[in-house]
Structure 1
Amino acid sequence: MQPGVVVTGIGIISAIGNGIEETLTSLFNKKSGIGKIRWLESSISGIPVAEVRHSTDELAEIAGTKTEPGIFTRNTLLALIAAQQSVEMSKWTDLEAHQTGLVMATTVGGMDYNEKHYQSFLAGLEKGKEVSVLDSSDTTEKLAARFGIHHNITTISTACSSSANAIMLASRLIRNGKLTRVLAGGSDALTRFTLNGFRGLELLSSKGCSPFDAGRDGLTIGEGAAMLMLESDQTADMSKALSRITGYANVNEAYHQTSSSPDGAGAFMAMSECLMSAGLKPGDIGYINAHGTGTGINDLAEGVAIDRLFGKKAPPVSSTKSFTGHTLGAAGAIEAVLSVLAIQEQKIWPSLNIKETMPEISFMPSTEILSLPLNHVMSNSFGFGGNNTSLIFSKV
């Protein structure tokens, strides 16, 4: 019999807090982390972002890297903090006692450190100096070294679906008997590269994102990290299980480099195949944590797809990006943790900043915290290039 996958540890750091307690406090108080730029050195002013509240030096103190040799980027520090929380919650101190893997996701890698030297390199001020390469795998390798993981170590970078795909791959490795435990998730730090890139695409909100609102004007870039400890239900201590991962699917519609298909074909396929993999029907889903970026085309495509799949009986839908901003490669993992917390708390998290629901959809996004029986939560992560992933978390 193929093993099932359970979540035994979660860790999170984002604009709404460091750790589960701070995160829940922000959610219950409907307190968004979106605000003015504080830590990122940027010439852009007036564009809201969702920064983690701590400076890079403060993150290094929290992560315990102050006395360690080597370069620790802001991206890596965020990942280390979230991973430590997840490992501690799962109560695993020796990750080599069983076959443990690491599947990490990011979109910018060490860009937050590299871009600090860009201008001086252009000016020739660092000519002849050794250049440290801090690519997307840098964070993964440092996490593996910190926790003594030597089996399957993988880095995924598929834009905004990156860490959802990391969780999916980790689940597949366990279900197919390759590993018994996997630390999976993602991190992305705020960088000038991403902020300027999305500004160039004219996708940034001038006021803070308002997913599924008729007057939405774009997304809000955020930063953060989340990590989940996944285990086989055949070897895990089930008393520690927070939820099951029962469904996952990834499809690539390849409609456009940066836009979803307006008819929501990719989103529809991802959600449909995810339900099939879990052996569930649309009516079994109690809550959808939507991708919900707040851009015109994304919310239209996802909303149309939800209407098509669920009809007039859609479950409560919300986008927690109105709290955390769009954390890019970390978004899937952050929203996975929020989905697990929804099941633990039996709560529907609200969408903030909705004044008038967009007219093209039939469902009304949840704007208040709801207390409802939750057995299955679907979490959507849809990336550039049409790389669309849906996950289903289920009550143990």
Structure 2
Amino acid sequence: MKIFVTGTGIISALGTGTGATLQSLLSGESGIDVIRHLSTGHKEFPAGEVALPNEDIARMLGVGYPENGLRTVLLGITAAREAVSSASLADTDLADAAFVSGTTVGGMDKTEKYFKSAFDAESKTEDSLELKYNDCGYSSGMIADNTGPFGMVTTTSTACSSAANAIIFGANLIKSGVTDIVVAGGAEALTKFHLNGFNTLMILDKDTCRPFDRNRAGINLGEGAAYIVLESEESVKRRNVRPVAELSGYANTCDAFHQTATSENGEGAYLAMRKAMDMARLSPCDIDYVNAHGTGTPNNDASELAAMERIWGTQIPAFSSTKAFTGHTTSASGSIETVICLLALQHGFLPPNLGWRTPINEGGIPITGTDNQRDIKNIINNSFGFGGNDSSLIFSKCQLQ
């Protein structure tokens, strides 16, 4: 059964909407800069922040309390509404559709604001009631409520593969006959919990990150949201819409190697890519581009490169990490990078691996300049989460019967 993408929506450090995102990618402009909106003492770490404060996003969306104090929700509504609009979905279409959203931070920004006063209080207070918004499912529900009358709403939370797994879950809902239409993706705001947690792991880079570079030093965190509309072939024909691409293959694996690290031979990444190709009935030579997870950490990039070498040997297809554009948007990265892949597929370009200078080994040379002369048919998008929860998605040019 074929699954098609009929709409996209995105907001990140590259801008608001698919148009702004495309322009930034083609111009090679990174969205990573000094931290301006997050209230933190760690200004030494650059990040890929969305340029707008909560007040401006809330005003743009026309929402009030409690959405206006939840950045993950605000980012999610922005991207979800664009996806629904670009797919020309009406409320009648959404009534039977599913909304699947990936997040891990959820409403942590509100929790950070109210937790101490609630904890110090001797009894339940108004501040303590604000803590209910911490739940990941609350964020998904509020995004859905402000986007359309969905028939089903659910959440995936598998760290940095959350949004990719939301897309996989959405595709499985369609294949199992639960629904014909799914809006799937993820949203994640930058929080102090986020920044401090990764700083504790000692994997944040004080300079702009350099994925797949021999001298890479770690992650630049980011934030944002992206959603895509998935539809069955029957629904596409019934609604008479033109698909953006086909979700031709996908896989989720778990190597269970370590809580945060990946294995030296990239077993989980290898299996995810290999099984996704098997589902799509593609051979390694059919893949034109790999949007790598490529976080910029010593462990991830060496492991992911090893996995690619196991599949392609010395003939690795064009690959790059776009995290030097957006920062690592953690749970939202799978869908943000999906939209980037779909833009590449539609417009025939491959985004460069910004900041790269020196190869890890002889074969590990990513794309270093924007390539606008490509006939791209099949793209792999990798998203790897803590605990070895690894997912690969394959998007292909459409072939409607």
TM-score, reference length from structure 2: 0.94
**Displacement after TM superposition at 1:97 (Å):** 6.0
The 8 Å contact of residues 96 and 149 in structure 1, kept in 2 or not, is answered as no
- TM-aligned CA deviation for residue 52 of structure 1: 0.3
Q: Distance in 2 between matches of 1:395 and 1:79?
A: 27
Describe how 1:159-238 pairs up with structure 2 within 5 A. Answer: 159-236=159-236, 237=239
| 2:84 is the counterpart of 1:87 | yes
Instruction: Give the secondary structure class of the aligned counterpart of 1:354.
Output: coil
Mapped to 2, the partners of 1:276 and 1:388 lie a distance apart of 16
In structure 1, distance between residues paired with 2:50 and 2:333: 14
Q: Which residue of 1 aligns with 2:29?
A: 31
The residue that corresponds to 2:118 in the other structure is 121
Instruction: Find the aligned partners of 1:321 and 1:125 in 2 and give their Cα distance.
Output: 44
Change (3 A) 1:202 1:285: same
Coordinate RMSD, CA, aligned: 1.6
Instruction: Check the 8 A contact 1:188/1:224 in 2, yes or no.
Output: yes
> Percent identity at matched positions?
41
Instruction: Kindly state the Cα deviation for residue 176 of structure 1 after the two structures are TM-superposed.
Output: 2.2
Give the counterpart letter for 1:316 in structure 2: A
Q: Which residue of 2 aligns with 1:145?
A: 145
How far the C-alpha of 1:38 sits from its partner, in A, is 0.1
Q: Post-superposition shift, 1:99?
A: 2.6
Deviates more, 1:140-149 or 1:184-193: 140-149
* Aligned CA distance change for structure 1 residues 71 and 14 (closer, same or farther; 3 Å): closer
**How big is the shift at 1:123?**
4.5
Deviation (angstroms), 1:262:
1.4
Instruction: Flag the 1:86–1:195 CA change in 2: closer, same or farther, 3 A.
Output: same
- Aligned partner of 1:364 in structure 2 is 365
Please give the alpha-carbon distance, in whole angstroms, between the structure 1 residues aligned to 2:170 and 2:93: 16
Q: Which amino acid aligns with 1:349?
A: P
Structure 1 runs, 4 residues or longer, greater than 4 Å off: 68-72, 95-98
Count of residue correspondences: 392
Q: Which amino acid aligns with 2:317?
A: P
Structure 1: any 5+ residue segments left out of the alignment?
none
Work out whether residues 121 and 127 of structure 1, in 8 Å CA contact, stay in contact via their aligned partners in 2: yes
- Whole-angstrom distance in 2 between the partners of 1:354 and 1:242: 31
For 1:330, give the aligned amino acid.
A
TM-score, with structure 1 as normaliser: 0.95
Shift of 1:121: 3.3
CA distance in 2, matches of 1:323, 1:138: 29
Note if contact 2:95-2:151 (Cα within 8 Å) is conserved in structure 1. no
Give 1:338's aligned residue: 340
Structure 2: 5+ residue runs without aligned partners? none
Which secondary structure state, in structure 2, belongs to the residue aligned with residue 348 of structure 1?
coil
Instruction: Look up the SS of the partner of 1:355 in the other structure.
Output: coil
Find the counterpart in structure 2 of residue 52 from structure 1: 50
- Equivalences for 1:234-273 in 2 at 5 Å? 234-236=234-236, 237=239, 239-273=241-275
Q: Distance in 1 between the 2:122 and 2:75 partners? A: 30
**Matches of 1:374 and 1:297 in 2, distance apart?**
30
Q: Which stretch shifts more, 169-178 or 30-39? A: 169-178
Q: Distance in 2 between matches of 1:95 and 1:389?
A: 32
> Which whole-Å CA distance do the structure 1 matches of 2:377 and 2:39 have between them?
44
